Amino acid sequence: MGGITRRETLGLAAGAAGWSLVSALPAWAAESAPGFFRYEVGGLKVTAVSDGFFVRKPLDGFVTNAPVADVEATLAAQGMPAGEVTVPFTTLVVDDGKRVVLIDTGTGDMGPPTAGTWMANFRAAGYAPERVDAVVVSHFHGDHVNGLRLKDGTSVFPKAEVHVPAPEWDFWMSDDKMAAAPERAKGNFQNARRVFGPMAADVRRYTPGAEVVTGITSVAAHGHTPGHCAFVVGGKLLSLQDTTNHPALFATHPGWHVLFDMDAQAAETSRRRLLDMAAADKMRVSFYHAPFPATGTVERKGEGFRFVPA
């Protein structure tokens, strides 16, 4: 489950067309509304779709290896309120004119009261669930997969192929792993079975580093979970998923560990590697947990990185 190098990622994603850098910021956005933001990368139409947010308050324990005072100072330095952090959810729709592919699905009807706006925003962007041809999953946390299946068991995307990282499947669907897990972690195992169990025979498992569907190449980024993946889209966009939680904290301080990371040191290694790749190659990036529309660039700043929103 080791990560691939930047050179390997570029080769996988760019293919025969070669690697090209991002164009100027004003050319990025083609269409936007409060709940969606559309732009083009590598000939693909990409739409960021908001699923709302949750508020972490108080901040105690959110960063596991830094004093709360340092966390609050970092937020204040970036103009954010003290004592809390608002963490958004943003998925991507990738449309090549023939196929509609989702990268993660949001919280469905099982998130906090401030979330669950995904379907309304998806429809406002001109899509319907019946049009989805494939869903590419980064990892099995509920805020990324619960949009696949509603609380009552309804499958949301009836025609879609579902692609998941093989190491993620092997971990969360293992009875032995679930039996050995601490009680506080068993809920995620149970939720994985709720979401994927009825479709288990049809779920497609990909190896991190492989092209999952045309134009979307996975990048191993484990640590947050055992099989967590980021993605290169259209050879130009690095979709970081949960490589960071809110970038105001975890890009600024890539050595900080969020409480949701299962292997914090491995997650830090993945985070530093991918943020360095994005900054060095001036790639466009997308974060799952940055303020909407959660896209822009990353640049080095001091010992960390700065997210520059589009």
CATH number at residue 43: 3.60.15.10
Q: Is residue 233 part of a domain?
A: yes
CA–CA gap between residue 132 and residue 125 (Å, rounded): 13
> What is the residue-level pLDDT of the chain in tens, covering all 310 positions?
333 333 333 333 332 222 222 333 334 345 778 899 999 999 999 999 999 999 999 999 999 999 999 999 999 999 999 899 999 999 999 999 999 999 999 999 999 999 999 999 999 999 999 999 999 999 999 999 999 999 999 999 999 999 999 999 999 999 999 999 999 999 999 999 999 999 999 999 999 999 999 999 999 999 999 999 999 999 999 999 999 999 999 999 999 999 999 999 999 999 999 999 999 999 999 999 999 999 999 999 999 999 999 8
pLDDT value of position 10: 31
pLDDT value of position 133: 98
* Residue whose pair of structure tokens reads 């996988």 in the numeric block: 12
DSSP alpha helices (H): ranges in 197-232? none
CA–CA gap between residue 195 and residue 218 (Å, rounded): 22
Amino acid making up residue 139:
H
| Whole-prediction pTM | 0.89
CA–CA gap between residue 6 and residue 1 (Å, rounded): 16
**Coil, strand or helix at 178:** helix
Find the domain containing 32 and state its range: 6-309
Q: Is residue 62 part of a domain?
A: yes
> Is-contact 242 55, C-beta < 8 A?
no
pLDDT value of position 5: 36
Q: Is residue 63 part of a domain?
A: yes
pLDDT value of position 13: 32
pLDDT value of position 15: 29
Residue 167, preceding peptide bond in cis (omega within 30° of 0): no
Q: Is residue 286 part of a domain?
A: yes
Q: Is residue 1 part of a domain?
A: no
Total domains in the fold of the chain: 1
> Is-contact 248 88, C-beta < 8 A?
no
**Among 63, 77, 54, 9, CA closest to 233:** 9
pLDDT value of position 6: 36
**Coil, strand or helix at 116:** coil
pLDDT value of position 33: 80
Q: Is residue 37 part of a domain?
A: yes
pLDDT value of position 284: 97
